[in-house]
Every structure is written in structure tokens, then in C-alpha cells.
Chain A
């Protein structure tokens, strides 16, 4: 089992719809969770981070963390063609380590 798993996609959604991206992780003691967006040929950029169970909202983006079920998700409301990119989930394992483990990413296509 991979440490951080994401569906590779592509996930296609129509413009204006909600895009839902999911990520599961294997280490139950993981502490910090990050979503990065990467446009083709560019470097990753941080969208959101979440440390506690529940929802965290920032504009059109909502991150959801469920530590009991070991998943973290990213919702993008009112999806725009400019949201078309690969979304990378990253997890920091338990306290005392300083590694980051990335998923392989989900490619999102927002259709105009």
C-alpha cells in the first residue's frame, strides 16, 4: 500500500460545478496535510493546509480532514477552467520526522 494515495484522474467537471479531490494516507500518526496545485510545466504551489479534523475553508477551496478514516479531501466550488491542473496531496508523518510524502496527484479538467 502506498503511503499517500490519490486517484490519478483525469477528473472532468463542468465549469461552475464542485470538484472533489480525495487523498488517503496510511500512517495513522500523520500530523499535517497539504494540498498543492501544479500547472503543467510549472512548480507546485500551496493551496491549503490542514492540521485538525474537520473542514477548513479559504475562498472557493475547502479542505476536509478525517483522521479516523485517514483521508483528506479538497473541494473546489464554482470550478473555473483556470483550475485545470494537477492537485498534489502531501502528508507529514508523525511528530519527530520532517519528511514530506506526496501522492502522485489527481489531474483536474474543468470544461468550459
Chain B
């Protein structure tokens, strides 16, 4: 089944404890992206990747890191999480940007 998977789906952590949210797609897509969704602010793009080893900032990259070492994986790293990073995070992929994106199921992160 063609899909985008994210892990974990739910995470509660404390300020400053490094964490990684994984994202993987099995559709051989070139383009991958991370978003956060907050009430009243909608979906905001954090980082995106056009291909392996090619990444660029979206609109809200501060406090986040990404890497794209393999085509199928695009992990999101929070080196020192803070409470303002509490949000719902979505990973998405598309055959190539900018075309239709397929979204993962989401990761709900709470930083205490």
C-alpha cells in the first residue's frame, strides 16, 4: 500500500530533551516536506527536500533540523524542544514539487 508513515504518533516530552520524528514514504517520491498545524494558524511549512541531500527552509524553520540521506526517509529533529513547539506535525511527499502531496497520519507533540 502506498503510504507515508510517521513515528511516533503521539509524544510527550520535556523542554530541552532532543527528539526525532521519523517520516518514511514508499512511493519513490522526490519531494518531502514537514508541516506543523496550530489552531488559527493553519498548516505552516517547516522544511522541505527536493531530493536526497537537498533541503531548504520553509516558513517556520527555527528550532528544527532535517536531513535527507535516503530518498524514502526525511526525519525531523528537535535538538532542544521548547513548549512553543507543541503542535501537530505532518510529513508529506509528492512525486516532484510542486504537485499533489500525500500526507502522513500526523504526530501530536507536547513539550512540557
Contact = CB atoms under 8 A, between A and B. Distances in A.
Nearest to B44: A102
B48 A103 contact: no
Interface string B44-61: 110010100000101100
Given A43-B90, A43-B104, A43-B105, A98 B42 contact: no
B31 A98 contact: yes
Contacts, number: 53
What is the interface residue range for chain A against chain B? 20 to 34
Nearest to B39: A104
Contacts of B44: 102
Interface of A: 31-32, 34, 42-46, 49, 88, 90, 92, 98-105
What is the interface residue range for chain B against chain A? 20 to 34
Contacts of A45: 103
Contact of B98 (A31, A43, A44, A102): A31
Nearest to A47: B100
B103 A104 contact: no
Nearest to A89: B42
B33 A44 contact: no
A100 B33 contact: yes
Contacts of A44: 43, 90, 103
